[in-house]
Amino acid sequence: MTPPEPRRKTPAVQKGRKSTQRERLLGGMIASANRDGYAGANVSKIIAAAGVSRPTFYDYFTDKDDCFLATLREINGEILNEVHEQIAAGPPEHALQLALATVMDFASAEPAKALFLTSQAMAGGPRALDARDEGIAAIEQLIEQVDVPGDAIIPDVSPRALIGGIYRLLASRLRRGEPRVSRSLEELTAWVESYGAPAGRQRWRTLEPTSTGSRSAAEAIRPLPAPGALPPGRPGIPKEEVAANHRARILFAAAQLAASKGYNATTIGDITRLAGVDGRAFYASFTDKQDAFMAVHEIGVQAVMSATASAFFTGSSWPDRMWQAGMALTGMLQTNPIVAHVGFVEAYAVGPGAVQRVEDSHITFTIFLQEGYQQKPRRTPPSRLALEAIITSIFEIVYLEVRRSEQPQLTGLVGHLASLALAPFLGVEAANRFIDQKNKGR
């Protein structure tokens, strides 16, 4: 299929001084957050970028977060309106492709707004994440409301996971200032269509955990150990060992607080109280809160990559290696939910270093997919860009499940992850047969 080309409307001219001032404030928020990040954007910077007074700001918004959320909802509304128009005007069986094309076109036409939505929203705390996720869920609802015949071929993949994955893919490119991201649309459309299956026989469009992959995957991986407290008086314990213990307790406390309070709401005082150390111990190991959370994030990345890579090389074939890697990935994260929360929910809030580490890991995880090109692939195997989209969609599935529950059932999603990874290479039917065999223990 030739990629759909959404027809962007010229924005309606807003009339009235009050609406103009509000729009300028929303634009000021976008400019400030894109330049300085969520943490660096404050009311002073927003009004300076908007060219309005501080009292005017408070005529419209109670605080920075109120303005941040209003901006997110405004952008969500713009995209949703365009998706609705494109889906209504196009072939029903192409609803997901039309939504994808609309999102890509919006990112090309409105890169500042798209960067705010796809990247800065991930740093704004729980309410901002809710707004971001609700926007994607609304797009999914538009796609799912379309009436298609049971024999129509449509992508057997969760629209919510795929659109969220594309947001992540766009975030990295927009942060680098890449022009005309919609040029990637043809490659991504071909990838989406590689999941095509009859509408009446869809298996993977919902993200409810199933029994798939649940056979003791988590039980095979032990939780990362919590550091113990030192004995009273620390008799005969070298200073280096005391410092190492303090550091470990600080890191563990930071990870716990990331899951319970979130990065933005956590203070150094919170961390030291939970860790049972004083401020001097904290600053002996870390320069600030961001430094401590960066260390937590890096430990989590290394643990996840080590578990996944080790399991990958135990498989007897490439599909089996991918299955084993998926079992290890989900088992590790399910057994260590605070690691999952830091890595998949809080990373963007920690700062540019953590964001870059996340985006680097997208490329790193595509290494596991490279062998797919040797598997008698479909006539048109996925592009290298599509490999990254597979990984970002997998990350989105993990993120959604981690946000959904304090005890995420990630091992129940192995089938979804395997379908995303295998179908573009093997074809939908072959991928499903393999997944069924694994579920039956063959």
Place of tokens 């109280």: 273
Mean pLDDT of 297-306: 91
* pLDDT band at 178; cut points 50, 70, 90: confident
pLDDT score recorded for residue 10: 42
Mean pLDDT of 327-333: 93
Local structure of 155: helix, strand or coil: strand
Determine the CATH number of domain 292-439.
Answer: 1.10.357.10
Task: Give the Å distances, CA to CA, from 103 to 11, 75, 276, 379.
Answer: 16, 11, 47, 27
Q: Are 140 and 160 in contact (CB under 8 A)?
A: yes
* pLDDT band at 233; cut points 50, 70, 90: low
For the whole model, what pTM was predicted? Answer: 0.91
pLDDT score recorded for residue 102: 97
Check for a shared fold between 17-182 and 292-439: yes
Architecture per CATH, domain 17-182, reads as Orthogonal Bundle (1.10)
Tell me how far the alpha carbon of residue 258 is from its chain's centroid. 16
Poorest-confidence range of 162-166, 195-199, 214-218, 282-286? 214-218
Distance CA 325, CA 418 (A): 10
Determine the CATH number of domain 239-287.
Answer: 1.10.10
Domain ranges of the chain: 17-182, 239-287, 292-439
Local structure of 33: helix, strand or coil: helix
Closest CA to 390 of 333, 326, 336: 326
